[in-house]
Amino acid sequence: MRLGCLVVISTTTFAAAPLAAQRSLVVRPIGSITKVSASGLLGSVSAVRALPGGGVIVHDLSRRQLLLLDSTFALKVAIADTTVATNRSYNSAVAGLLQYRGDSSLFVDPQPLLMLVIDENGVVARVAAVPRPEDANFMIGGPFGTPGVDARGRFVYRGLLRPNMAGATTGAPDPGQPFRMPEVPDSAPVLRVDLETRATDTVAFIKIPSASISVTSANSGYRTSVKINPMPIVDDWALMPDGRIAVVRGQDYHVDWFDAAGRWISTGKLEYHWERLDDDAKQRVVDSATTEWQREREKLTKLIPGGSSASATPSSRPGRQQFQVPNYVFVTAHELPDYRPAFRQGAARADADGRLWVRTTAPTDAGAIYDVIDANGLLVERIKLPYGRVIAGFRPGIVYMGVQDEQGARLEKANVR
């Protein structure tokens, strides 16, 4: 579940950037692609850590491998994989590759609750415990943002709020009353954990997608339904190279900055062409989300024993039930916002030059369009990626992208300009 919290910030300052400084920008393509990995080497490109000399560490989640490639993208070292060859098994369903101090990296494996500290040569220097085991799955990145470690050795990541902390029902029924699912909060905390002392502080809270969960009893067992909004207005966040934390607000599209001195600085609204949605457009969004979920449910049903889309059915052993695919339903069209949100969850990333990239929802028949925001909160560029590409990492003036192909995936290196 995507959960959240309410945070009280003691010192807040606001410095509004003049709207006049925001000028309309022409979308331009990303610079030339200068290097491409060999086909078949990778199954996916989940994250990339740039190393001195042009080499990179690539996290390949689909094939469960962590590879060190040299400056030509040739395989140099398999740091972790599913074989016994590396002596570093990678058998978890999810994991994350993050920046650490200097040129070192962290590989967070939530299943054994461990973090590998990897040096610039791809050598595992040491193994450490995950600082907060209950948050391990939120420390790997993906839709929860891109975690990292700041200059003071604090692990920064998007956490979660347990329902009872939000004042919601815990799900424990009153005597004689039916079971009630806890309410899902619509916000989440951005946390910092000192890796030495394990002291934790909450920096901010961000708005996240929420869901309404219900459980009903049937002759075949219990059925779980999840009602969601396919087009929620959300916030996002990123840890900047200078240690600041940027929070992008989805309601009016501006950036709040939490600086090293513990102050909040809010910069002005960003220039954006908001797309108004009429009733027909809203219905198309709901219909498209429903069709996509039906395809995904068919895939999941094949992977789960029993082959049923019900939430739970009795197993062959008395007293036990078998988990099945829950039923997802979507809000009605009139419950959607009147304007398409500027971005979705997981849209913000910080580059190596101290700029913030936000993947927008701007309609395009080509690749994704990113708004690039400078350290002062000003929109300075709009950049379009080639079709099918996703950003996996940066080095100064360079973007690393992943793209699927017939053999799996390719890693591409492109100039920003």
CATH of the domain at 411: 2.120.10.30
Tell me if 195 is assigned to some domain.
Answer: yes
Tell me if 296 is assigned to some domain.
Answer: no
What is the rounded CA–CA span in Å between residue 243 and residue 152? 9
Residue 315 has pLDDT above 90, yes or no: no
Query: Rounded mean pLDDT of 211-218?
Result: 74
Are 68 and 412 in contact by the 8 Å Cβ rule? The answer is no
Query: Rounded mean pLDDT of 138-144?
Result: 89
Counting the structural domains of the chain, the total is 1
pLDDT at 316: 41
Distances (CA, A) of 66 to 61, 77, 383: 8, 9, 29
Tell me if 177 is assigned to some domain.
Answer: yes
Q: Please state, rounded to an integer, the average pLDDT across all residues of the chain.
A: 84
Are 395 and 48 in contact by the 8 Å Cβ rule? The answer is no
pLDDT band for position 308 (50/70/90)? very low
Residue 22 has pLDDT above 90, yes or no: no
What is the extent of the structural domain holding 225? Answer: 19-277+337-415
| Number of residues in the chain | 417
Tell me if 136 is assigned to some domain.
Answer: yes
Which strand ranges, in their side-by-side order, compose the sheet holding 398-405? Answer: 33-36, 408-415, 398-405, 390-395
In what helix (H) or strand (E) does residue 225 lie, and over which residues does it extend? Answer: strand 221-228
Residue 64 has pLDDT above 70, yes or no: yes
Rounded to the nearest 5°, which phi and psi values hold at 176?
A: 80, 0
Tell me if 174 is assigned to some domain.
Answer: yes
What is the rounded CA–CA span in Å between residue 370 and residue 47? 18
Burial of 85 from C-beta contacts in 10 A (0-12 / 13-18 / 19+):
exposed
Tell me if 303 is assigned to some domain.
Answer: no
Distances (CA, A) of 349 to 148, 258, 345, 365: 11, 16, 11, 23
DSSP 32-59: -EEEEPPTTSBS---EEEE-GGG-EEEE
What is the rounded CA–CA span in Å between residue 346 and residue 146? 8
Are 349 and 337 in contact by the 8 Å Cβ rule? The answer is no
pLDDT band for position 363 (50/70/90)? confident
Residue 134 has pLDDT above 70, yes or no: yes
Q: Which residues pair with 354 in a beta bridge?
A: none
Tell me if 326 is assigned to some domain.
Answer: no
pLDDT at 76: 95
354-372 burial: b if 16+ Cβ within 10 Å, else e: ebbbbbbebeeeebbbbbb
pLDDT band for position 178 (50/70/90)? low
* 3-state secondary structure at position 168: coil
Query: Rounded mean pLDDT of 294-303?
Result: 74
Which strand ranges, in their side-by-side order, compose the sheet holding 105-109? Answer: 124-129, 114-118, 105-109, 96-99, 148-149, 154-158, 187-194, 200-207
**Helix (H), strand (E) counts: the chain:** 1, 30
Chain segment 258-282, per-residue pLDDT in tens: 998 889 999 999 999 999 999 999 9
pLDDT band for position 11 (50/70/90)? very low
pLDDT at 324: 59
Supply the Cα-derived Rg of the chain in whole angstroms: 22
Higher pLDDT, 166 or 340: 340
pLDDT at 319: 44
For the whole model, what pTM was predicted? 0.84
In what helix (H) or strand (E) does residue 280 lie, and over which residues does it extend? Answer: helix 279-303
DSSP 78-104: EEEBSSSSSS-B---S--EEEE-STT-
Query: Rounded mean pLDDT of 180-188?
Result: 78
What percent of the chain is predicted at pLDDT more than 90? Answer: 65
Tell me if 130 is assigned to some domain.
Answer: yes
What is the CB neighbour count within 10 angstroms for residue 60? Answer: 23
Query: Rounded mean pLDDT of 197-216?
Result: 88
pLDDT band for position 26 (50/70/90)? very high
Residue 167 has pLDDT above 60, yes or no: no
Residue 375 has pLDDT above 60, yes or no: yes
Neighbouring residues of 54: CB distance < 8 A, sequence distance ≥ 6: 70, 71
Rounded to an integer, what is the distance from CA 121 to the centroid of its chain?
A: 27
In one letter, which amino acid is 213?
Answer: I
pLDDT at 137: 92
pLDDT at 297: 78
pLDDT at 218: 64
- 131-135, 168-172, 313-317, 385-389: lowest mean pLDDT where? 313-317
Rounded to the nearest 5°, which phi and psi values hold at 144?
A: -90, 10
